Amino acid sequence: MTVFQKIIDGEIPARIVYEDEHCLAFHDVSPQAPVHVLLIPRKPVVSLDELTEQDTQLSGHLLTMVPRIAEMLGLTDGYRTVINTGGHGGQTVFHLHIHIMGGRPLAWPPG
- Positions marked catalytic: 97
The count of other CB atoms within 10 Å of the CB of residue 14 is 18
Q: Yes or no: say if 71 and 44 are a contact pair by the CB < 8 Å rule.
A: no
Task: Point out which span in 48-56, 57-65, 72-80, 88-96 binds ligand 5GP (CB under 6 A).
Answer: 88-96
Smallest separation (angstroms) from ligand 5GP to the CB of 94: 8
Q: Of the candidates 108, 49, 60, 52, which has an alpha carbon nearest to the alpha carbon of residue 84?
A: 49
Q: How many residues bind ligand 5GP (CB under 6 A)?
A: 13
Task: Point out which span in 16-24, 54-62, 66-74, 89-97 binds ligand 5GP (CB under 6 A).
Answer: 89-97
